[in-house]
């Protein structure tokens, strides 16, 4: 049995959302071969914007910056200058710290601010208050973890969000991450009333995702052989390609769309079986899936989400985790590329990583544990 509390604690090991892919994770290496190629033409925007990105050199931010540049926008990055500083040499870069040094932002103006890097309300309050008269729109990357619970299937943007007895807490844990994100949303809306856009993604996937959550499956399936698949084949999953999310968020800025949006995907219900067989379609490996039920996995201490990645059993208060209503975002223009494209591009990107990095995945089921559980499953089945 996996409760919401246990799930969030498991995903909080590196700062709450990193394991979910909800915050851009630290990459820790230069991007080999440049950025992942876009496989469709990008048309210039009707009007060039001045966009300030708080962050911009990690996962989601990198894709936002690339898309914004291809659309013809002028982009400014504000960060500490420590993560992948070699990226985007043509872009203006301001150096500072969300925690205590926003000096570089003073006296400047932009059309829109995209805030990917804040998980503490004070950070949002400081930046948003400083920029409230210097920008026309504030887009904040939040998380579906902001919801109070996942017991309800089909939650829309009006579902209750988490709260804290002490809203001044800044320590990020499995208990505080979601409510802190909810408080961040309130700070953005308070500083930019009627001019704030709140985006709540779920699991963000695709090239340059260093969490290895989704990446585990294309890599494992491409290795071939008997693959342990979790739970019931009909169990739901939700995910969004970072490139689709990034492009849509830039378009929200272009169209000055305000409001709160759940932003995971795809457009229709996706089962774990459909996801795994969809990934299999892009490999030439000989693969056989063996479905092992949730109780057996739990008995053998195989963790949902962490080892059987992307998947959490839809029960025990987690029924709604992978069934969040994203119809509002879809109506506002969020689109989804084929799963096969995401899987293929993820595999290609993963192959560019240093061998040492590929040999030490940050999520997924270790081969020896997978083999051990499969032996036990077959023994039980006779």
pLDDT digits (tens, 9 = 90+) for 182-240: 999 999 999 999 999 999 999 999 999 999 999 999 999 999 999 999 999 999 999 99
Annotated domain spans of the chain: 4-381
Mean pLDDT over 71-83 rounds to 97
Question: Is residue 380 helix, strand or coil?
Answer: helix
CA dihedral of residues 82, 83, 85, 87 (deg, nearest 10): -170
How far is the CA of 314 from the CAs of 113, 347, 357, in angstroms?
36, 28, 32
Mean pLDDT over 142-149 rounds to 98
- The chain-wide mean pLDDT, for the chain, equals 91
Nearest to 54 by CA among 155, 153, 124: 124
The CA angle 371-240-317, to the nearest 5 degrees, is: 70
Length of the chain: 382
Q: Please count the other Cβ atoms lying within 10 Å of the Cβ belonging to residue 169.
A: 16
Check pLDDT > 50 for residue 283.
yes
Query: Residue 127 in contact with residue 98, Cβ under 8 Å?
Result: yes
Interacting residues of 63 by C-beta distance below 8 A, sequence separation 6+: 206, 208, 242, 243, 245, 246, 247
Give the pLDDT confidence score for residue 117 in this predicted structure.
87
Rounded Cα distance, 201 and 254, in Å: 20
Rounded Cα distance, 33 and 126, in Å: 37
CA dihedral of residues 201, 63, 122, 86 (deg, nearest 10): 150
For the four alpha carbons of 141, 143, 144 and 148, in that order, the dihedral sign comes to: negative
Which of 1.10.287.80, 3.40.50.720, 3.40.50.300, 3.30.70.100 is the CATH number of 4-381? 3.40.50.720
Helix spans in 4-53 (H): 4-10
Check pLDDT > 80 for residue 75.
yes
How far is the CA of 123 from the CAs of 91, 96, 99, in angstroms?
24, 12, 6
Q: Please count the other Cβ atoms lying within 10 Å of the Cβ belonging to residue 101.
A: 11
Rounded Cα distance, 151 and 373, in Å: 29
Q: How far is CA 199 from the centre of its chain?
A: 11
How far is the CA of 320 from the CAs of 145, 148, 249, 269, 310, in angstroms?
12, 12, 24, 12, 14
Query: Residue 142 in contact with residue 167, Cβ under 8 Å?
Result: no
Give the pLDDT confidence score for residue 265 in this predicted structure.
96
- Report pLDDT digits (tens) over 5-27: 555 555 544 333 433 333 333 23
Nearest to 277 by CA among 232, 233, 335, 321: 233
Query: Residue 22 in contact with residue 204, Cβ under 8 Å?
Result: yes
Give the pLDDT confidence score for residue 12 in this predicted structure.
47
Rounded Cα distance, 317 and 1, in Å: 10
Give the pLDDT confidence score for residue 382 in this predicted structure.
72
Helix spans in 133-266 (H): 177-191, 216-223, 242-254
In the chain, pLDDT over 90 holds for what percent of residues?
88
- Report pLDDT digits (tens) over 195-206: 999 999 999 999
Mean pLDDT over 260-270 rounds to 97
Query: Residue 236 in contact with residue 265, Cβ under 8 Å?
Result: no
Pairing mode, strands 196-200 and 112-115 = unpaired
Give the pLDDT confidence score for residue 8 in this predicted structure.
54
| Lowest-pLDDT choice from 20-24, 94-98, 105-109 | 20-24
Grade residue 4 by pLDDT with cuts at 50, 70 and 90: low
- Report pLDDT digits (tens) over 240-251: 999 999 999 999
């Amino acid at each position: 049995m996996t409760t919401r509390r246990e799930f969030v604690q498991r995903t909080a090991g590196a700062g709450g959302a990193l394991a979910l892919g909800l915050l851009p994770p630290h990459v820790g290496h230069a991007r080999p071969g440049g950025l992942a190629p876009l496989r469709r033409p990008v048309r210039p925007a009707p009007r060039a914007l001045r966009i300030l990105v708080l962050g911009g050199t990690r996962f989601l931010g990198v894709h936002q910056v690339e898309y914004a540049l291809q659309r013809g926008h002028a982009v400014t990055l504000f960060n500490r200058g420590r993560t992948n500083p070699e990226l985007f040499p043509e872009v203006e870069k301001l150096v500072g710290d969300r925690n205590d040094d926003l000096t570089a932002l003073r006296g400047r103006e932009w059309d829109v601010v995209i805030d990917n890097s804040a998980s503490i309300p004070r950070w949002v309050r400081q930046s948003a208050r400083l920029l409230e008269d210097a920008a026309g729109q504030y887009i904040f990357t939040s998380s579906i973890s902001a919801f109070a619970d996942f017991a309800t299937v089909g939650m829309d943007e009006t579902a209750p969000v988490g709260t804290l007895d002490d809203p001044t807490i800044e320590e990020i844990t499995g208990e505080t991450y979601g409510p802190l994100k909810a408080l961040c949303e309130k700070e953005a809306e308070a500083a930019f009333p009627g001019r704030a856009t709140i985006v709540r993604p779920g699991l963000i996937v695709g090239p340059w995702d260093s969490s290895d959550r989704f990446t585990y499956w294309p890599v494992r399936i491409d290795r071939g052989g008997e693959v342990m698949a979790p739970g019931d084949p009909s169990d739901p999953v939700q995910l969004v390609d970072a490139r689709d999310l990034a492009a849509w968020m830039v378009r929200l800025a272009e169209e000055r769309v305000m409001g709160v949006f759940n932003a995971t995907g795809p457009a229709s219900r996706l089962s774990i079986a459909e996801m795994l067989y969809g990934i299999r379609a892009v490999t030439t490996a000989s693969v056989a899936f063996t479905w092992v039920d949730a109780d057996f996995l739990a008995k053998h201490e195989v963790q949902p989400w962490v080892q059987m990645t992307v998947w959490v059993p839809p029960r025990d208060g987690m029924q709604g985790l992978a069934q969040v209503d994203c119809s509002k975002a879809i109506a506002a223009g969020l689109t989804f590329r084929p799963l096969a494209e995401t899987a293929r591009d993820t595999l290609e990107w993963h192959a560019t990583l240093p061998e040492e990095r590929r040999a030490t995945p940050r999520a997924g089921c270790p081969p020896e544990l997978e083999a051990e559980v499969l032996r036990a499953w077959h023994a039980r089945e006779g």
